[in-house]
Structure 1
Amino acid sequence: MISRRTLLGAAAVLATISAASAEGGLAERRAITAYQQEKYPALLKAIQDAAGFAVPVEVNWDQLAVSGDAKYYADDGYFGKTIFEPLAAGLKEVGKDDMGRQALKAKLKSIRVRYDEKTSSSNYLGSLKFDGGVLDVNWRPFANTQDFKPRVDAVVQMLEKNL
């Protein structure tokens, strides 16, 4: 059962996301809004379940939304399989035992998801940072969708090094 606090946190995150996605073209805004309403809540729940607590997740949709790709946003491979699902799987691996769950709760304060072409790397670990309790995920959406395991491994490596 999801706690009231978790639901309120998720609602606040979605409100922030909606405000952030107000920029960009109409097609992108519509597609992002549809994704946020239809697919993202289940992905956010999977991330928080994997972490073992309601870790705040800040998504910079304006950066993730590649102009002209709005028609692909609903595809599970666009955001889900390239960003959110590997993130959840990495958290689940780290939190597979009490020691991992306790470390996540003690040191992981939030997760930031974005895509900055200038600072992103084709090396998944190189596009992750952990600073001040914030796991920063800077992965390009809809790229190399077959690289699920390397993304999971990168999340695990980054967290295990910093927890």
Structure 2
Amino acid sequence: MISRRHALVAALALSVLSAPSAMAEPTIGLAERRAIAAYRQDRYPAQEKAIQEAAGFAVPVEVAWDDLTLPGDAKYYSDPDYFEKTIFEPLAAGLKEVAKDKMGRDALAAKLKTIRVRFDENTAPASNYAKRLTFDGGVLDVNWRPFTNVADSKDRVEAVVKLLEKGL
């Protein structure tokens, strides 16, 4: 039989665990939703096309827009430095380097099934680009923070090339 004290402790623990966190993650507001919708319509199609042309085939690109959409940054989404120079252009440049010859194009076409682009604040350091790339089961997972260290394009490209060349 459970004592009254044990029942009270269990009830208290359950209420603490099920209560909303005081440190809840920020939510994406209307400004961010509008800005990301505009970016996806106006600018992203050219980025996706560039990635697929660089790969040499229509590789599916899955972008976790909710992960890339950061609270308070809506006014920057249309700036090429925000997504393009920090994520999409280095990705395309890395693919282009790997696919520069028939051997590279054939290897990519045979093994690259999907590209996933996301940002996880807890696991994406600001500048260790190679550490936040994985290539497993045909999926190239890119976990880079948008709008940070814009000048590091060469390092991002190099990380993509090294990972793919090793995995292909």
2:138 alignment partner in structure 1: 133
* 1:92-128 per-position Cα deviation (integer Å, ceiling 9, x unaligned): 0000000000000000000000000111123100010
Q: Does 1:52 align with 2:49?
A: no
Q: Percent same amino acid at aligned positions?
A: 72
2:163 to 125, 146, 158: 158
Query: 1:153 & 1:47 partners in 2: Cα distance?
Result: 16
Question: What is the one-letter code of the residue matched to 1:37?
Answer: Q
Query: 2:28 & 2:149 partners in 1: Cα distance?
Result: 25
Contiguous gaps of at least 5 residues in structure 1: 1-22
2:83 alignment partner in structure 1: 79
Q: In angstroms, what is the RMSD of aligned CA positions?
A: 0.8
Displaced runs of 4+ in structure 1, greater than 6 A? Answer: none
Question: What is the one-letter code of the residue matched to 1:104?
Answer: L
Secondary structure of the residue aligned to 2:104 is helix
Query: 1:101 & 1:80 partners in 2: Cα distance?
Result: 23
TM-score by length of 1: 0.85
1:110 alignment partner in structure 2: 114
CA drift of 1:131 comes to 0.9
Query: 2:68 & 2:164 partners in 1: Cα distance?
Result: 22
2:151 alignment partner in structure 1: 146
TM-score by length of 2: 0.83
Secondary structure of the residue aligned to 1:130 is strand
* 1:40-92 per-position Cα deviation (integer Å, ceiling 9, x unaligned): 00000000000000000000011111110000000000000000000000000
Contiguous gaps of at least 5 residues in structure 2: 1-26
Query: 1:34 & 1:111 partners in 2: Cα distance?
Result: 22
Larger radius of gyration: 2
Secondary structure of the residue aligned to 2:115 is strand
Secondary structure of the residue aligned to 1:119 is coil
Q: Does 1:62 align with 2:66?
A: yes
2:128 alignment partner in structure 1: 123
CA drift of 1:24 comes to 2.5
More displaced 10-residue stretch of structure 1: 65-74 or 114-123: 114-123
